[in-house]
Amino acid sequence: MSSPSIFWFRRDLRLADNPALLAAIDDGDGVIPLFILDEGVASRAGANRNANMVNSLKSLNKSLGGNLHVISGDVVPTLKSVMKFYGATSIHCSKEYAPYGVKAESDCAETGIELQILGSGYAVAPGRVRKDDGTAYKVYTPFYRGWLAHGWRAPVSAPKNPTWISPQGEMKSLSKIPDWKSEIELGATGEEPALEKFKKFLKSGAEGYSENRNTPGIEGTSKLSPHLRWGEIHPRTLLAKLGDSKGHEVFRKEIAWREFYADVLHHNPHTSREYYDAKYTKMRYDKPDAKFKAWCEGKTGYPFVDAAMRQLLREGWMHNRTRMVVASFLVKDLHLEWQHGERFFAHHLVDFDVASNAHGWQWTAGCGTDASPYYRVFNPVEQGKKFDTEGRYIKKYVAELSHLDADSIHEPWESLDGYSHGYPERIVDHAKERLESLARLEEIKASKPLPPERK
């Protein structure tokens, strides 16, 4: 009799469009669906991400008929003990590219565990798209062209009538999905809600995406990031449904940003924590103090920044436009190193992704892959006026300003009753700090010229 195979779910918590899962089914007499819960990682992640993960595991377990094995422990001993217990001869999984996943794979190889690896969480696996001379791309736009030219496979279907092996004996007593909760209300998790959300976005959001994606006060984006984070939906599934309209094209480009950053991190693994452009390590930075605390709490006195930080605290998610604005504020108005903000985001975001977060931060800080010839400094007031013209976003999250109209909400200091409901005063003067930031840039003689004031 042939033996069962193990399918090790990692960041691919779905059944459809999962080629590695199909390979596991083909390979064994029944499949043991396994998720290894590393409590060390969980202890470093924030409550939102942990709660989102366990909700996602619960959804997956449901689609597996309650047969998911969720075992806490280190990867190598857990895989060994599950293999031994069931007499399994193969372990299948998809490849990971973030440092934690890479290390887990090399630990397996070093201890004699042979993984059957197929596919990844990307349409084109990091490392595949290269310049003609074989080197990696450092700039997004040429990467995007190379990525399009490379192309990707069509999605594969969900398995038909697979045999899942339920947790038995000792494994049954070990298997447990923790009941982790967070204080905020989280969105629906799982493959079905992810597909539903995408269907709805295709029907009513995708066509207008290129115009609406920068307006945080409306539902102008897909909000698929938490689902992509846990692989409840694969980017291939999204790409397969996109056509040639402007909205679809811009959406495809955003998916490509995710793939670009994964590629950059793959070639530069140290950049999850360290500067991509090393000369910025020499810049003069301040130490986090009461101003950092005000930034974290959404009390900087800059309405657009505060609305965004409060959105993060309330929802565990933030709009892309405002992620850039608050990141710029932290680095260029408060003169803090980007890693302070990156860690705060990592703690609170339900969609936290090592590559997109570290490189979203580094791009905004100026030490990343931004190809602009200028050193960008976002103006937090002008950004608000431009992208939240009616002040809807600010009103939603900053109750102390909800009495102000669209003309005055971005600059409460200009209104007689701007501070009448307890809104804090500005912790810094943006015009002054912008000059300070540019002066510090001069000190490290960065190659980028100083820009005119940006909006």
By CB under 6 A, name the binding residues for ligand FAD: 213, 221-225, 228-229, 254-255, 257-258, 261, 320, 323-324, 327, 345, 349, 351-353, 356-357, 360-361, 364
Q: Which is nearer to ligand FAD, 220 or 303 (CB)?
A: 220
For tokens 């950053």, name the residue.
261
Shorter beta-carbon distance to ligand FAD: residue 20 or 355: 355
Least Å distance between CB 221 and ligand FAD?
3
Cα separation, 214 vs 399, whole angstroms: 22
397-400 contacts: CB < 8 A, separation 24 or more? 397/298, 397/306, 397/307, 397/308, 397/310, 397/311, 397/314, 398/298, 398/303, 398/306, 398/307, 398/310, 398/423
CB nearer to ligand FAD: give 199 or 432.
199
3-class secondary structure, 41:
helix
Minimum Å gap between C-beta 367 and ligand FAD is 13
**Cβ closer to ligand FAD: 35 or 361?**
361
In the complex with ligand FAD, the residue whose CB is nearer, 265 or 324, is 324
Hey, is 424 helix, strand or coil?
coil
Q: Write the DSSP symbol of residue 153.
A: P
Nearer to ligand FAD, 70 or 318 (CB): 318
Q: Are 329 and 305 in contact (CB under 8 A)?
A: yes
Say which residues have a Cβ less than 8 Å from residue 370's Cβ, sequence separation at least 6.
363, 364, 376
Q: Least distance from C-beta 356 to ligand FAD, angstroms?
A: 4
Buried b (16+ CB within 10 A) or exposed e, 375-406: bbbbbbbebbbebbeebebbbbbbebbebbee
Backbone angles phi, psi at 305, to 5 degrees: -65, -45
Whose Cβ is closer to ligand FAD: residue 7's or residue 329's? 329
CB 260, min distance to ligand FAD, A: 8
Closest separation between CB of residue 228 and ligand FAD, Å?
5
Largest CA distance in the chain: 82
Minimum CB distance to ligand FAD, residue 350 (Å): 9
Tell me how far apart the alpha carbons of residues 285 and 105 are, in angstroms, rounded to a whole number.
37
Total residues found in the chain within this entry: 455
Nearest one of 351, 310, 52, 71 to 181, comparing CA atoms: 52
- The residue with its CB nearest to ligand FAD is 360
- 90-95, strands of its sheet edge to edge: 69-72, 31-37, 5-9, 90-95, 115-120
Give the C-alpha distances (Å, rounded to integers) separating 268 from 98, 343, 354.
11, 19, 12
Distance CA 398, CA 185 (A): 18
CB nearer to ligand FAD: pick between 76 and 195: 195
Q: How far is CA 178 from CA 34, 54, 56, 304, in A?
A: 15, 7, 12, 37
C-alpha–C-alpha distance, residues 232 and 18, integer Å:
10
Query: What is the closest distance, in whole angstroms, from the C-beta atom of residue 80 to ligand FAD in the complex?
Result: 32
In sequence order, which ranges of 213-289 are alpha helices (DSSP H)? 225-229, 235-239, 246-267
Instruction: Return the number of the residue (86 or 201) whose C-beta is nearest ligand FAD.
Output: 201
Cβ at position 122, least distance to ligand FAD in Å: 10
- Residue placing its CB nearer to ligand FAD in the complex, 11 or 69: 11
Q: How far is the CB of 253 from ligand FAD (least distance, A)?
A: 9
Residue closer to ligand FAD by CB (options 71, 330) is: 330
- Work out how close the CB of 75 gets to ligand FAD at its nearest, in angstroms, rounded to a whole number: 23
Q: What share of the chain is helix, strand, coil (3-state, %, to 5)?
A: 50, 5, 45
Cβ 199 to ligand FAD, closest distance in Å?
Answer: 14
